[in-house]
Structures are given as structure tokens and as C-alpha cells.
Amino acid sequence: MSSEDRTSRTAIAARLRMAREAAGLSQGQAAKLMDMHRPTVSEIEAGRRRLAADEMAKFAKTYGIGVAWLIGENDDSADDDVSDRIKLAARQLSGLDDEDLDKLMRLFQSMRGAE
């Protein structure tokens, strides 16, 4: 395997793990939703197992992400983990009601005041 392939697989694996965690799922829960075994999800997230196109589509659908984001094609800063985490956090926040968003905003403000 070329170093470029290894780098790509590692980046996809990291994005998969980040997306799963942002979705609030354990590896076991994700595997069950996709009709896979937990060790399969673990191996994919570790970058030790190739990901087939149909599996990539399953992960994207389950986690509510785009395949283009997953493979880094729609992001000029594909290697910017902070940007990726912010996008995933925003996706999670968009599902909250106004009251919960207000609570989170107050929490963020109090955290900044504690620094």
C-alpha cells in the first residue's frame, strides 16, 4: 500500500470515528445499525481495514454526513481537525430546541468566564 493510500485511509478512519462520536453512538451501536460486527467498525476506524463503497454510504447515512466530507473532497482544509469537529458540533446543535440552545450558550459563556 502506498503512503498516500495509507494517509487517505487514516484520514477517513479519523473522520468516521469523529462522526460516530458526534452522533452519540458506540462502536457496537453503530455496527448494529449497519448490520455489521463491532470488530469490523473498530478495524475500519483504526484504518486497518479497507472500506467498500457501499459500506462508506452506510456509514454516511447512519452518521448523517456526506460521503464527500468523509473522503475530504468538499473541504479546502480537509486536514483541519478543528474545522471538522466544529462542523459536526454544529450539526448536532441544529437538532436542539431553543430552550436547550439557550442553556448551552449560558454554559459556554460560563466556561469562557472561568478561563
9-46 exposure pattern, b = at least 16 Cβ within 10 A, e = fewer:
bebbbebbbbbbbbbebebeebbebbebeeeebeebbe
Model confidence over 4-50: pLDDT tens digits?
Answer: 566 688 999 999 999 998 888 999 999 999 999 999 999 999 999 98
Average pLDDT over the chain reads 83
The tally of domains found in the chain comes to 1
Read off the pLDDT band of 89 (50, 70, 90): confident
The domain in which residue 74 lies consists of 3-114
Choice between 96 and 4, residue whose per-residue pLDDT is larger: 96
CATH of the domain at 62: 1.10.260.40
pLDDT band of 77, cuts 50, 70, 90: very low
